[in-house]
Structure 1
Amino acid sequence: MAGPTTAERGERQQESSGPPPARRWRRPRVRTIVILAVLVVLLSAGALWALYGSNWLRVERVSVSGTRVLTPADVREAASVPVGDPMISVDTDAIEARLRQKLPRIDTVDVVRSWPHGIGLRVTERTPVLLVRKAGNYVEVDHKGVRFATVSQAPKNVPLLELTASRSGSAAASFRRFGTDRLVREAVTVAGDLPAAVAQDTRTLQIRSYDAVSLELSGGRTVLWGSGENGRDKARVLTALMKAAPDARHFDVSVPTAPASSGS
């Protein structure tokens, strides 16, 4: 009888010897641990020194963008960015708060770090949609109803708001119920819904009561708008009405489903 082959003998030897022993994990030496710890401490200390102690990462310039009426110098002065201080220590929230407090004309502001030496101030100014006359000057009102600035000269193409309601009689109910601020916001809503061509041509926006808003356009033309409700429908109807009756002097869109024009 023939004996086992060479391959069979190899398989039997492997089965008898079992799997190879696993390689044992060796603990790092104490010296290696100490060296790594020292390196971490040195790197951390170096990073802190670079951020706070060195002259490499300090504020050297302040850039301003987005101004229209304000000047970059106005914004930089109000921001009071600590030039020379470490970039990492600049309180961007505090800068934003100072700008909002000192310059109400600013609607939004973004304070950003421009490494390694700059602070950027990106501002968006409020845009007036109405003017309120006050002691010979004009108070600018934005689309949120915020009265943000007083100017001596009226900006072009911004309507003047007139609250003409009497404090007695039936019109007084609007003042008692809504108050002046609410009526101003209502006027702002109407101004925002006006067609672009009409808005540029509007000279005065009058409010006699909450639901009696009217416009005075150039050339003595008038528009009875009514309340601020259904503003988009009224704007669309007014545009069509003006095209259909270009010589009319008076337009009524207070009820947009039944518009009227007269005085050609």
Structure 2
Amino acid sequence: MAGSTTAERGERQQESSGPPPVRRLRVRRLRTIIILAVALALLSAGAVWLLYGSQWLRVERVSVSGTLVLTPEQVREAADVPVGSPLISVDTDAIEARLRQKLARIDSVDVARSWPHGIGLKVTERTPVLLVQKGGNFVEVDDEGVRFATVPVAPKGVPALQLALGRPDTRAASLRRFGESRLVREAVRVAGDIPIDVARATRSVKVRSYDDISLELRGGRTVAWGSGENGAAKARTLTALMKAAPDARHFDVSVPTAPASAGS
């Protein structure tokens, strides 16, 4: 039998030196995928161990900032942060809820992880705008009408709230129509609109009814404010009126377009 020709031998040589078969390519790809999958699994397992199982990323300290009346220790105690636990597993929402529940003086709090070992508590306290005397103590009321704390000494510069609703029959009618909480909110609204210079001199905000709120200032001066409506206009009018009549004792801005002053 005659041997293969030179041309046939050349074709076979070219085939043997050409690209690998499809099957070999698939095997190589599968091997690469398996190696990558194993590497990814090992990395994931290592990350989970680092975050949850190792001693490197655990809570060691709790920092507190923003306190004015509260002490950092009071905040830490109320927060009850699980020191020693993995930092990643700390429930920041639960810490915030505990602080709000236990410390009514806290208006808002930001709980943040501080890698690698800390929890930060940034506190914003409520600020009193009015005081309600209760026995020998004073209840602080914030700008939302929330009564959040009772203190034995009145904070300086915070006016007292007086609910002077008149005769028992008048008082009952006013409370039935508006409710005490609504009247307190109106007083808070007025306190927030008082010009800064006047606020410093305000000793009390007196509420006789929804539309009869007045201010008692140092030196026996008074301001008839009316309702809590049109507060910005009343504030501007009062500032101008006090400049025009610096010796007056009584001011009326209940109708800001028709103000009045009297006494000297």
Normalization by structure 1: what TM-score?
A: 0.89
Shift, 1:169, TM fit:
3.7
**Conserved 8 A contact 1:92-1:112:** yes
State the distance in 2 between where 1:169 and 1:60 align.
62
Say whether 1:202 aligns with 2:202.
yes
Aligned residue in 2 for 1:64: 64
Name the CA distance, whole Å, in 1 between partners of 2:120 and 2:149: 24
1:186 aligned onto 2:203: no
Aligned equivalent of 2:11: none
- Equivalent residue, structure 2, for 1:27: 26
Partner of 1:251: 251
Q: Report the AA paired with residue 177 of structure 2.
A: R
Gaps of 5+ in 2: 1-18
Partner of 2:128: 128
Residue 117 of structure 2 corresponds to residue 117 of structure 1: yes
1:93-172 equivalent positions in 2, closer than 5 A: 93-166=93-166, 168-172=168-172
Which residue number corresponds to residue 18 of structure 1? none
Q: Which residue pairs with 1:13 in the alignment?
A: none
CA distance in 2, matches of 1:28, 1:155: 80
* Aligned mates of 1:248, 1:114 — CA distance in 2: 58
Secondary structure (helix, strand or coil) at the match of 1:35 reads helix
My pick for the range that moved more, 31-40 or 72-81, is 31-40
Unaligned runs of 5+ in 1: 1-21
CA distance in 2, matches of 1:191, 1:97: 30
Alignment of 1:43-62 (within 5 A): 43-62=43-62
Contact 1:166–1:172, Cα closer than 8 Å, also in 2: no
Shift, 1:186, TM fit: 0.3
Question: For 2:86 and 2:117, how far apart are their aligned partners in 1?
Answer: 9
**Alignment identity in percent?**
74
What is the rounded CA distance, in whole Å, between the counterparts of 2:248 and 2:27 in structure 1?
A: 95
Q: Deviations over 1:195-233 (max 9, x none)?
A: 001111100110010000011000000011000011100
The match for 1:12 is: none
The 3 A distance-change label for structure 1 pair 28 and 108 is farther
Give the distance between the partners of 1:69 and 1:87, measured in 2 at CA. Answer: 29
* SS across alignment from 2:179: helix
Q: Distance in 1 between matches of 2:20 and 2:226?
A: 89
Instruction: Render the CA deviation track for 1:94-133: whole Å, top value 9, x for unaligned.
Output: 0000000011101010000111111100010000000001
TM-score, normalising length from structure 2? 0.89
Q: Which amino acid aligns with 2:52?
A: Y
* Letter of the structure 2 residue corresponding to residue 27 of structure 1: R
Q: Quick check: 1:65–1:121 contact (8 Å CA) kept in 2?
A: yes
Read off the aligned partner of 1:121 and give its amino acid letter: L
User: What residue identity is the alignment partner of 2:97?
Assistant: A
Q: Deviations over 1:217-261 (max 9, x none)?
A: 000000110000111000000000000010000001111111110
Give the aligned residue type for 2:65.
Answer: S
Report the Cα offset of residue 24 of structure 1: 8.7
Partner Cα distance (1:114, 1:23) in 2? 54
